[in-house]
Amino acid sequence: MHDLILSWVRTAVPAGVGGLAAWLATKGVDVDPADALAVGAGVGAATTTVYQVTVSTLQRKWPLIGILLGSTRMPTYQEGAHPGAHAGRDLHNL
């Protein structure tokens, strides 16, 4: 898998986990409708961050854990290149 796509997958999976947690946080809990968005956003953001940090940290010791981020392979970046940069490659050659 191309490193750019791999980085997207490893970002999207924790975001999906956070979104699921946000959705679940509003189920079965009596939240004022005016506060539901704030509760969902807060829970989603916190869960996404904690999930990403925890799984990434555990993956350093147990590489198989990386599957919880969508792939056990970590993307590699060129030295000095910004992680979001295409490093001279465009998307047409993926």
pLDDT higher at 13 or 34: 13
Residue 93 domain-assigned (yes or no): no
Question: Which pLDDT band holds residue 67 (cuts at 50, 70, 90)?
Answer: very high
**Could you tell me the pTM of the whole model?**
0.73
The 10 Å CB-count burial string (b at 16+, else e) for 10-36 is: beebbeebbbebbeebbeeeeeeeeee
pLDDT higher at 52 or 30: 52
pLDDT score for 92: 60
Indicate the number of domains in the chain. Answer: 1
Give ∠ CA 18-19-24 in degrees, rounded to 5. 95
Which helix (H) or strand (E) segment is 78 a member of? none
Structure confidence by residue, pLDDT tens digits, 39-53 = 888 989 999 999 999
Residue 8 domain-assigned (yes or no): yes
**Domain span at 23:** 3-72
Residue 82 domain-assigned (yes or no): no
